[in-house]
Amino acid sequence: MEDNKVTYETIDQYISACAPEIQETLQTLRKVIREAAPEAEEKISYQMPTFFLHKNLVHFAAFKNHIGFYPAPGGIEAFKDELAQYKGAKGSVQFPVNEPLPYGLIARIVKFRVDENLKQAAGKPKKKK
């Protein structure tokens, strides 16, 4: 049986496959994340645009009615009051596509996640060769 599922190798490829009216929003979201986490590297993980700093920092994805943002449970918990107006789960939030994204809030969440990842990385013992 053939598997016709599209696989993405870059964030540019992912965004260009999205509906034109969503592409600008995704590019702005990417820019906000890049500015909040300039040392993070871009990659595709779980077939979603991902920013990586010692480990996965945040992911995002476009859906029919929302933009999914995945800052891990720590990022959701730390900003739960500000995120209360949005649908979400333990490690995710859904921003409706028909409303402006809260870019300032997203930037603060990303900066929080950078600090969280750096602290976790500093606390890990070095691997022996």
Backbone angles phi and psi of 41, in degrees to 5:
-100, 150
Where b means 16+ CB within 10 Å and e means fewer, 33-61 reads beebbeebeeebeeebbbbbbeebbbbbb
pTM for the predicted model, two decimal places: 0.90
User: pLDDT at position 1, please?
Assistant: 45
β-pair partners for 44: 49
Q: Spell out the domains of the chain, with CATH numbers in brackets.
A: 11-116 (3.90.1150.200)
User: What value, to the nearest 5°, has the Cα angle with vertex 48 and ends 115 and 71?
Assistant: 25
pLDDT for 56-88, tens place per residue? 999 999 999 999 999 999 999 999 999 999 999
Q: What is the pLDDT of residues 91-123, one digit of tens each?
A: 999 999 999 999 999 999 999 999 999 999 888
